[in-house]
Structure formats: structure tokens, C-alpha cells
Structure 1
Amino acid sequence: MSSESKRNYHVFFHLHTVSGIVISTVLFVIFFCGAFALIKDEITAWEKGDKVNVEEALDIDYDRAIEAIKAEDYELYGRDLRILVPDAKQEIYFQLSESQDTIKAPNKEGKLYYFFIDAHDYTWSEYYSFYSIGELVYRLHFFSQIPYVGIYIAGFVAFFFLLAIVTGVIVHWKKIVSNFYVFRPKAKAKTIWTDAHTALGMIGLPFQFVFAVTSCFLCMSIFVLVPGSLVYNGDQTKLIEEVRPMMKTYELGQPTESIGSLNGFMEDVQGRWEGFTPVQVYVRNYGTDNMMFQVDGMVMNQKKFVAHGRAIYDVASRELIAEKLPEEPNYLEGVEATVRALHFGDWGGYPLKMVYFILALITCFVIISGVLIWLNAREKKTIPASQRLFNRKVGHSFIAICMSIYPVTAFAMIVARMLPRSMDVSRQSLLYLAFFIVGIIVTLFFRFKRNNYFTTKYTLLSGAVLGLLIPIVNGLISGNWVWTMITQNQVEIALVDLTWIGMSTIALFTLTKIKKREPLSPTHEELLAQQKEEFTTELTSQTETEKPMKYKIAILWLASAIGYILHGMYGLYGVYYNETMVMDDATGHVPLSHHLWRVGLEGFAFLFSVLCLEVKVRWFYWTAFTWAILQGLFNVYHLLTALMYEASNVSEIVALAVMVLISIFLIKAFRQWNKELIVGIEK
């Protein structure tokens, strides 16, 4: 191998390693939750316990659904209605656009609404009236719980995952086939993880590549649309019509008292194209003389992977006024339809979803094995003790987070099934408590055990036991025993129970194969002693004029507090230009949550500024350090949202950028203060 080839190899190797390690934990969460997101609607049906009888789009009484919406006092005039056909949840999703008539429509009707209509009895319900654990994990797999920027975080993770895949293939290219057939279970740990990483990585490679590309497309499409708008001279409407023709809007016609029936159009569409499956329906310009009924769907056949068709009818005359034939090529629309079909796996039925599910879990194992390879490679005597301790902490944290999500998800599933329908109002809060709060507690417990074998063993064991309890709890509560559901052809409900039974079986089998390895040498305590010696040598070499780091930290905490106060003052600056500062629904009383925010940001910053000068115990250090990290993440998040939604507010953006800089310096200073506390040097 020439020197140039060696250099390229090392460049790609380090790119593969760094890009993989940086995103490993987040990527694991995405794939684990994404596996369950594939069956989120089935999980919702399983939670409700009702027998599944999916209403076909052809059988929906659209007129009755509209009347149910009107009965809830929604003004439909001038709106576009988006309708998604029922799935395993047996609910019709409705989304009401803002009214185009800003004069006749009241201000409150300028809002966007979305809700469900039951596909059988046509009762109305809010979107979150029944919050499912399936919905929770689905939204977690693209971090929807993080407002504004969550989906972009998922997009950037997908991009770095794509980079890791490409560089991994380049690194292993010459031996990619031969290494695929090599597995040495009795070799040393690094060899075992390397063999598993290579073999399973190869098996899941096409799947992983597809998901990396499609996730980038779905989560980061804004980065395509923003520059694309320049081509259309900033005309966003025209851009959307070109990229997503199904979202095309039409000029509002004149109001009409005579609104024709919406039934019958679906039957006509399905009669036109054999094998046509409706996906969504649009009712355009409701209550006007140019009201339209639009049907979008797919035709699955052997000629074309994704054949997208569209038919648009004039409601008044009931005539077809426009159509897009399934066999008619449309590059932009075809790309999006293909990406969505590949990502969601809804074109091959349950067999394909189960293949996706298994490949997603295999990818989780590939991620874990990659991190373990990295950790084993850094257990060398030449590496300083402080760095080895840090690497082990990273490993313990990673394994604790990734392995804990398995039993925590099983526990949350049991909680979700046991919650009575009378508690639907509190359902989301209770599921968040069962999943996130319990998850944090479990993760912290395993993190501070500092034993990856212990963590792996007991997360698999607890996850397997809880997983086997899931179908039992379901059967006891609803009578929907898995064998009963199979005989009654209730595939949707049986699928959830069978999935957990299968996962539990594999977990228990894996437990029988796990062997406890020799403890790491040197031990954690020995590394701590070596680290203290390193820090002592480093700190005693400093000049006598250098001040302890606690003074710098106190100043940075004080700067943070002042920064938050200045940020609040910048918010009031618009008063001079007649900008109203009164919030919507303001009552004259400051909510408790706002007081808590100010105490948490300004008050805690002042408090830590004072306490760090006097308190030197370890628990205080970790409390303050953790708060500094959380504060830094909040500052970064706030800066990003300001750039996205308040780009013209230059003074606020500059202030937030300074706050981010202060947070970086503060976290860096804490690292140095940690050395002083370990050594016990106080000047």
C-alpha cells in the first residue's frame, strides 16, 4: 500500500469512527424507536383493546363526517380539508387549513386544526385525546418532543450516519466479502465485536443506506426548499405546487348555500384505475362554487414500483376536471413518493414491516458493537489514566442509555395497557412519566454501576420478563389473548403481542450465551489513583500567580445571569417601535411557570456564582456541572430557534450567541476545576 493509499485509508477510517461515535447514542434511539414506529397504529389499536375492522376509503360517509365536524362548531367555509383514510386505529384524520377568506372568517377561524373522526360511529375526538405509547416512540424517533429543532437534529444524525456508512464501506472494501464469513466467538473481545460489526453491518447495509438517505430527505427537506425558493423568486406557493402538486391550492370562489354531496367520488376513482389505493383526500375551497374533491393514492403493480395517481372533481357538477394518471411520469412527485414508501415500508404489508423491524434491531446491535470496538481499542497502557477513565465513562453511559430503553419501553407498554380510558386526559403525562422519568432513573442506576456486563445482563433479563408480561396483561385486561386474536384474524392486535414474545425469546436466548469476562485492568479505583497523580503533576507545574478555577467559574456564572437579564431587556426593546408586548390570553397575572423559568436561569446562575466560591464537595461540583451543560444546551436551542424564526432580531441573536460562548467557556472551566478538586489543591 502506497503512502497516499495509507493516508486515504486512515482519513476514511477516522471519519467512519468519529462520525459513528458522535451520533451513536442518538442513532440507537432513532432505530430502536423507529422499529416500533413501523407498527405505531397497531400499538394504538392494541392499547384500545377494540376489535379492528378497518373501514375502507370507499365506504367512508364523507357527508356524515363533515356534519360531525360542524357539530363541534368548526366554521369550514373557505378552508381546505385534508383527510387521511383510516388505518388500524380506525380513525379518520382531518386537518383544516386556515380560512382563505380573512374578511368573513372570524379571527379565531384563522387557525389550523387537526383531529380525528371515528370511522364507525363518526364521533369527534382531539388528536391527543388518546395518546398512545406508539405515538410516543414514533415521535421520539425523530425527536418531535424537542420543539422546532428536533426533526433537524434527526436529519443531521441521518446525514452523519450516511457518512459513516460510506466511509465504512470504503475502509472495509478490499476484505468486505471475506470478512463477512469470518466469526471467531472464542477470540478476544475486540475481535468478536469486530466480526459481529462487519457481518451484521453487511447484512443490514442496504437497509441502513436507504434509511440514511430517506431520513435526510424527510427531516432536512427545508434545506432544499429554502434555496429552491430562489429559483422561483421567493414564490413559496409556486415552489410547493411544483415539488408537491397534491398540495396545490386554488383561488377561493364565491360562497354558495348549496353544497353537494362528497360521497360517490371515491367509487368513481377506484373504478378508473385497477388496484388503486387511496392515501389521502383533499376537499378544496369548502362552501364555495368552485369546491373540489381531490383523491391521491397509489397503484401497486409489477410495472412500476410506486405509481401515484390523482383525480380532482368539481363538487357542484360532479365532473372530473383534472387527473394525474398513475403511469404518467413525474420526477419530483415520484421521488417523494418513492422515498416515503421506502422509509415507512407500507408497500409490502406486514411481512415487509417485520423485515424492517428485524433489520432495525440488527442496526442497533451494529451501533453497539461499533462503540465496543472503539472502547476496547482504547484500553491501552499508553493512554493516560484520565483519558481511559473518560473513555470508560462514555462506554458506561452509552451502554446504560441504549440497553435501558428496552426494558423501559416494555414497562411503558404495560403501563399504557393498564391505564383505564377514564384517565385519557392524563394519559400523555403518565406515559411521559413511565417512559422518560423512569428511563432516566434506570439509566442513571446502570450508569453508576460502571459494569457493562451487569447492565447488559439485567436490562436483557428485565426487558424479556416485562416483554412476556405484555401479552399476559393485555389478555387479562381485554380478553384479547394472542391465540384468540389469531383465530379471529385480528392480525393488528396479535402482531404487537407476538413481537414482544419474539423479542423476549431472543433476549433470553442471548442471556444464555453471554459470558462474564475478566474485569478490566487496571480497575476503576486504580485509574483514579493514577489520574490523581497526573493532575497533581500538571497543577503543581503552574505558576503561583495562577488563580484557582473556581474564581473563573464564579465570574462565568455571573456573566450568565447578567446575560439572561439583558436578553429579557432586549425583548422589551420593541416597545419603542410600537410593538405590543402583551402575550395572547394574558390575564394580568404572571404564570408560575414563568417565575420558575426566571429562577432556573437567572436565579440559579447567581446562586452557583456564590456557592462555587465556598463549596468544594463533589456532589456540588456534579450538580453545578450538570446544570451548566443543561443551560448550555438550552442556550444553543434558543439560538437556533431565534435564527430560524426571528432572523431579523439581530440584537437578540447576538446576545444569545454570547450566551452560548459563555456556556462553552463555563463547561471547559468545570473540566479544569475537576482536576483541582481531585488533587485537592487550593490556592
Structure 2
Amino acid sequence: MRGEILRLYKSVHTWTGIVTGMLLFVCFYAGALTIFAEPLAHWASPPAGGSISIEAADRLIEKTLAARPEAAKDFTLRLATANEPARLSWRKSRSDDVVWSATLGADGEARIERANVSGLGAFVDTIHRTAGLPLDRETGTTVMGVVSAVYAVALVSGLILVLPSLAKDFLALRFTGNLKRMWLDAHNLVGVASFPFHLVIALTAVVFGLHEPIYDALDHAVYDGRLPTIMRSTGPFAGVKRDEQKAPIKKVAELVAAVASASPNFSPASLHYRDAGTHGALVRVIGEDPRFLSRGGGFAVLRGATAEIVNVDYLPEKQSGWTAAVSPFFALHFGSYGGVPVRWAYFFLGLAGAFLFYSGNLLWIESRRRTARRHGEQVVQTTASRLMAAASIGVCLGCVCALSVAIVSTKWLYGHVEDVDAWRRGIYHAVFFGALAFALLRGAARAGAELAYAAALGALALPVTSVAAWAAPGLGPWAAVDPESAGVDIVAFGAALCFATLGRATARRAELGPTDSVWSARRPREASRGLRIPLSSNERAAAIGAGDGDVHG
């Protein structure tokens, strides 16, 4: 391939990566955590008692509607699981931000309280969708849709760059003194090996983020403003008329049985009621079918007063045509298929993706120093380079620290504040922007090590909180000894060890690496004074990187 073409693609890959890299790090790191959002939420949530029978769900609906009749217009029943009792939630109106929740107490009465707008799993997912930008969810998701489109360009241009040397260098990972070479090898290996995964993530994220603008454009350009009407006429409730004549709703078991008759392998998780207590009541039974690859499972629509099936077109087993073809493709974004092995694979792919963006920024920053040396120029780290390096450290490690602190704070805040979700968001942004400001003030070299140690402490706070809750119950947090919670603590402890190792390596690089590097904590004049530190030959090679273009560890 001609040199000028390669240089063009390198420029495209570099600048698209720089523009999107830090935001995508946040998305991928948070996305890796969303794979295990349920265990995380279980770890952070207080133990919930109560019956897990379907009959309990019927009593919950009856008691709640007797106490809060306005909820009958629109409410959702979350069926009980082994860890959680049945829960009913609703809003007083669609525009109301306050969500109310009801569970059945041991005395058989409904316990009604103001619920968190979103739980811990939903919070981490919002960070994943919006990169933690201080915007509303819709705007943040749209911004990340644009970023994902740029990300797709970076992917394709990066693959074209490595194609000429793919056969020779694909599996090469050279652990030599030149850390720049090792980081580049690792960056290329991870990028090429996970290219199909990243391409699917990029394309689906573009659609998820930009579907509203796309629909608006189609509505004006193609459908002449009739798209909302067309979508309603072909939607799951098409042809169903409201009937406000009073009529009792069928029991939950009857509604579930009706869906089972249409799709025996379908497993319901929740029921969404509309106009309950009227003859025109509709119930959307939502769940999953493990035999099919689909985004968010599927649902069937039934008449609440008779359990008559109205629409089964959205059940995974009944999908056909375009929906059946597209749904599995979008499901690939979520890793909600294939059981535990696939979830772990997505978890590590998400972390590997975060590494790609982190290492990409580091490679670009150090490549400028290498270019200057190659041309015999004096290496001068510009203010822009230092700010880029500090911002990369602050955003990436700040996100890691902020998520850990937000997760831990959830467990400590329950029972002490009314709106846990608002506090959690505030804590996340305070830690994130605090870490970013710290990195900009301290510089990349020092902040890289110090924030890595802070990330280690943040991860370690999870198992420490669990041990403290077990050893001193009066502190507030509850002790959870089930396998899910223990798994969260073990993974968090492993993450703490990894971040501590990163901090140690980064600190050593800052003290012993080339002084003309942006990752060095020493000034050039300090090196000229003959600073001597006893090192073995292996340590010296690892710290200094044997010359040009190395990148901090």
C-alpha cells in the first residue's frame, strides 16, 4: 500500500481516536460493569424479605390499588425472584419524576414508599450510555451516538493501518526495553482480535444514540409528518379501543398461563398494566425466551379483564421478517445471551476496549517525542501535550474512581437519605471532576500514579465495606454473605491489586524514565545533576524503556 495512503489513514485513525477516546473509555469501562449490573445492585441493596409466590403479587396489587387508586391507570408489577419480593411501581402522571413503590410486608399489608428513580444498575447503565456527561439521558445518548459514528471510522482506519504487517505482527507482543513497542503491539493485538466485537458495538450504538434524530428526519423527508400515526397503527396496541366500564382484572397466574399457552418457553419477569379495573384494561407481559437472541427479551399483550391474547408478534418465538433479522444483531450489543461464559467474555472485552482508548492516547502523546528525536530536534513538551496527557489520566482514572465510590456510597447511604439516586449522581460527578482537576494541577506523571492508587483504594472499599458490615453491624451497611455478593467482593479485590500494580509501575516510570517525556516527574536539569538510583539491569530497562518513544507503564 502506498506510503501516502497509509499516512492518510494514520492521520484519520489518530485524530478520530483522540477526539473520541476519553469518552469511549468511560462508556466501555461502565459498559463492562453493566454486564454484572444485577450482582452489583444486589450487593448494594438492603436485603428484602417477603413471599415469592404469585399469589403474593395478587395481594400486592389489591392492597396497593385500595390505598392508591390513582395507580390503576398505569403501573408495573415486577415479579418476585429468589432475591427480591414482588414489587409494584408507578408515577402519579407521566410527567412526574417521582416514582412510587409498593411491596407486601410480613403483616400482609402494602408498604408504600417513594422509590429511587433508578437503581444502581440503571445508574451504571446511564454512565455507559452517556459517558457520564452532565446532560439529561436523551441528550447524552445522542451525543454518544455521534461519538460512536466517529469511533466506527477510527476502527476501520486502524484496521487498514495494520493490514500490511498483519501476518507478521498480529500475535507479536515484544516484551523488550522499548515500552513504546510493547504498548503498540498490545494495542494492535487487542484491536484486531476484538475488531468484530467493536464494529458491532459501534454500529448498534450509532442507532441507539441517533434513532430519534433519524426518525425525525424520516418523518419530515419521507412520511410528511405521518410517522407517529403509522407507528401507532402498526404497534402492539393497534386496533385496541379503550373501555372504561368497570371489570375486575384477572389474577397474575392466569395472565402468565395465557402467555405460556402461546410460547411455552417464555419466562415472564414483569407485567405492565394500563387502565386496570376496567373492561378495556391491557397487560403487557414482559420476559425472555432463552432459546432466542433478542434485545431485552420480548412481550405479549393481553386483555386484563379476560386474559385474552391481543398481540404475540413481539414474543421472540413469534417474531418474523425484519424484526427477526434485526433483533439478534442489536442483542449482540448487550451480551444477554449464552449464559455466564458470554457475560464474562463481554466483561473482559469491555475492559479490553477501555484499554484500547487509554493506550491509544498514550501512544499518540509519546509519538510526538519520538518524531522530534528522529529529526534531531530538541524535545519540548508543549502545554497542549501536557494538558492532553493530564486529561487522559484524569478522565480515565477519574471514571474508575468515581464509579467505585458511587457503588460503595450506595450501600452506606440507604436509610440515611431520601433520594439515594440524586446523592449517587452527585458523588460520581464530584469524584470524577475532582480527579480531572487533580490531574490537571499535578500533571500526568504524578497524577497517573496517585490516581491509580486512588482507584485501587476505591475498588478495595467494596470488600472492606462488606467485612466492616459483618464485623460491626451497627455501622449501618448490612452484611451480605451470598455467592453473588461474595463474587463482587472478590472481583473488586482483584481490581484493587491490578490498579495498585499500575500505580507502582507508573510511579517508577515517573521517577526513572526519560526526563524529556511528558510522563516524567523530573525536570531535565535534575537528570543532569547525576541522580543515581541503584537498579538491576531488568528494572532499568523496564523503567527507562531503552530510548525513543516509550510509553509509561
Instruction: Decide whether aligned partners of structure 1 residues 525 and 45 sit closer, same or farther in structure 2, where only a CA change above 3 A counts.
Output: closer
Structure 1 CA distance for aligned equivalents of residues 306 and 122 of structure 2: 40
For residues 472 and 241 of structure 2, the distance between their equivalents in structure 1, rounded to whole angstroms, comes to: 50
Instruction: Please say if residues 293 and 327 of structure 2, whose CA atoms lie closer than 8 Å, have aligned partners that are also in contact.
Output: no
Give runs of aligned pairs for residues 525-604 of structure 1, distance below 5 A: none
* Aligned equivalent of 2:463: 471
**Corresponding position of 2:114:** 126
Structure 2 equivalent of residue 342 of structure 1:
332
CA contact (8 A) 1:389 1:527 kept: no
Is the CA contact (8 Å cut-off) linking 1:255 and 1:288 kept in structure 2? yes
Show the counterpart of 1:570.
Answer: none
Q: Could you say if the C-alpha distance between residues 60 and 341 of structure 1 is closer, same or farther in structure 2, counting changes exceeding 3 Å?
A: farther
1:449-488 paired onto structure 2 within 5 Å: 449-452=442-445, 454-477=446-469
Residues 522-556 of structure 1: CA deviation (Å, up to 9, x unaligned): 88999999xxxxxxxxxxxxxxxxxxxxxxxxxxx
Task: State the distance in 1 between where 2:79 and 2:144 align.
Answer: 27
Q: Which residue of 2 aligns with 1:71?
A: 67
Partner of 1:499: 491
**Which residue does the alignment assign to 2:300?**
311
Structure 2 residue corresponding to 1:520, chosen from 515, 518, 521:
515
What secondary structure sits across from 1:425 in the alignment?
coil
Q: Which amino acid aligns with 2:260?
A: Q
1:240–1:95 CA distance, 2 compared to 1 (3 A) = farther
C-alpha separation in 1, matches of 2:231 and 2:524: 59
Distance 1:322 1:414 in 2: 43
Question: Which of these residues, 442, 455, 464, is aligned with residue 435 of structure 2?
Answer: 442
Give yes or no for contact 2:219–2:227 (8 Å, CA) kept in 1.
yes
1:393 to 2:387 alignment: yes
Change (3 A) 1:485 1:425: closer
Q: Distance in 2 between matches of 1:59 and 1:16?
A: 58
Task: Give, in angstroms, the shift of residue 168 of structure 1.
Answer: 1.0
Letter in 1 for 2:67: A
Paired AA for residue 41 in structure 1: E
Distance of aligned partners of 1:152 and 1:257 in 2 relative to their CA distance in 1, 3 Å threshold? same
- 1:266 is matched with which residue: 247, 253, 256? 256
Q: Tell me the CA shift for residue 371 of structure 1.
A: 0.9
Q: CA deviation at 1:156?
A: 1.2
Q: C-alpha separation between the residues in 1 aligned to 2:119 and 2:100?
A: 14
Deviation of the 1:262 alpha carbon = 3.9
- Local SS of the residue matching 2:382: helix
Rounded to whole Å, the distance in 2 between the matches of 1:234 and 1:84 is 36
Q: Which runs of 5+ in 1 are unaligned?
A: 97-107, 530-683
Q: Which amino acid aligns with 1:502?
A: G
- Equivalent residue number for residue 61 of structure 1: 57
* CA–CA separation in structure 1 for the residues paired with 2:99 and 2:3: 58
Which secondary structure does the structure 2 equivalent of 1:378 belong to?
A: helix
Letter in 2 for 1:375: I
- C-alpha change, 1:54 and 1:14, in structure 2 (3 Å) is farther
Residue of structure 1 in register with 2:35 after alignment: 38
Q: SS where residue 343 of structure 1 aligns?
A: coil
Partner of 1:240: 231
Residue-by-residue CA offset, 1:584-606 (whole Å, 9 max, x unaligned): xxxxxxxxxxxxxxxxxxxxxxx
- Secondary structure of the residue aligned to 2:442 is coil
Check 1:93–1:174 CA distance in 2 against 1; reply closer, same or farther (3 A cut): farther
Post-superposition CA distance 1:171-199 (Å, at most 9, x none):
21232343221112224232122111011
Which 10-residue stretch deviates more, 383-392 or 351-360?
A: 383-392
In 1, are the aligned partners of 2:173 and 2:186 still within 8 Å (CA)?
Answer: yes
Q: Which residue of 5, 10, 29 corresponds with 2:7? A: 10
Equivalenced residues, count: 500
Q: How does 1:208-219 map to 2 (within 5 A)?
A: 208-219=198-209
> What secondary structure is seen at the aligned counterpart in 2 of 1:258?
coil
Partner in structure 1 of residue 129 of structure 2: 142
How far does residue 509 in structure 1 lie from its aligned partner after superposition?
4.5
Alpha carbons of 1:84 and 1:369: their partners in 2 closer, same or farther (altered >3 Å)? same
CA contact (8 A) 1:84 1:92 kept: yes
Among 99, 116, 120, the residue aligned to 1:115: 99
Check conservation: 1:190, 1:372, Cα contact below 8 A: no
**What's the secondary structure of 2:461's corresponding residue?**
helix
Q: CA RMSD in A?
A: 3.7
Instruction: Check whether the contact 2:277–2:305 (CA below 8 A) recurs between aligned residues.
Output: no
Residue identity in the other structure for 2:442: K
How far residue 394 of structure 1 moved from its aligned partner, in angstroms, is: 0.8
Query: 1:423 matched to which residue of 2?
Result: 416
Q: What is the one-letter code of the residue matched to 1:34?
A: G
Q: 1:224 aligns with which of 214, 239, 256?
A: 214
Larger RCO: 1 or 2 (CA < 8 Å, sep 6+): 2
1:64-103 → structure 2 map (5 Å cutoff): 64-65=60-61, 67-69=63-65, 71-74=67-70, 76=72, 79-81=73-75, 85=79, 92=87, 94=89
1:286, distance to aligned residue in structure 2 (A): 3.7
Q: CA deviation at 1:360?
A: 1.2
Check the 8 A contact 1:300/1:306 in 2, yes or no: no
Answer whether contact 2:41 2:120 (CA < 8 A) is retained: yes
* Aligned counterpart, 1:599: none
**Per the alignment, do residues 316 and 89 of structure 1 end up closer, same or farther by CA in structure 2, a change over 3 Å counting?**
closer
CA contact (8 A) 1:46 1:492 kept: yes
Output the amino acid matched with 2:386: R
What secondary structure does 2:312 align onto? Answer: strand
Check if 1:323 corresponds to 2:318. Answer: no
Change beyond 3 A, Cα 1:20–1:49: same
Q: Which residue of 358, 368, 375 corresponds with 2:365?
A: 375
Normalised TM-score (structure 1)? 0.64
Q: 2:23 aligns with which of 26, 49, 61?
A: 26
Q: What do the CA deviations read for 1:498-517 (whole angstroms, capped 9, x no partner)?
A: 22022123334545666524
Return closer, same or farther for 1:312/1:502 CA change in 2, 3 Å cut-off.
same
Cα offsets for 1:543-577 (capped at 9, x unmatched): xxxxxxxxxxxxxxxxxxxxxxxxxxxxxxxxxxx
CA 1:384–1:527 in 2, change beyond 3 Å: closer, same or farther? Answer: farther
Whether the 8 Å CA contact 2:40–2:121 is kept in 1: the answer is: yes
SS of the equivalent of 1:290 reads: coil
Displacement of 1:210 after TM fit? 2.2
**2: CA distance between counterparts of 1:60 and 1:151?**
38
SS of 2:417's partner is helix
3-state secondary structure, aligned to 1:283 = strand
Whether the 8 Å CA contact 2:233–2:239 is kept in 1: the answer is no
C-alpha distance after superposition, 1:177-233 (max 9, x if no partner): 432211122242321221110112233323322221221121211133223335444
C-alpha distance in 2 between matches for 1:198 and 1:326: 38
Per the alignment, in what secondary structure is the counterpart of residue 346 of structure 2? Answer: helix
The amino acid of 1:518's aligned partner reads G
Once the two structures are TM-superposed, the CA of residue 82 in structure 1 deviates from its matched residue by 5.1
| Worse-matched range after superposition: 81-90 or 385-394 | 81-90
Identity of aligned residues (%): 18
Q: Measure how far apart 1:18 and its partner are.
A: 0.9
The match for 1:178 among 157, 163, 168 is 168
Q: Could you say which residue in structure 1 is the equivalent of 2:400?
A: 406
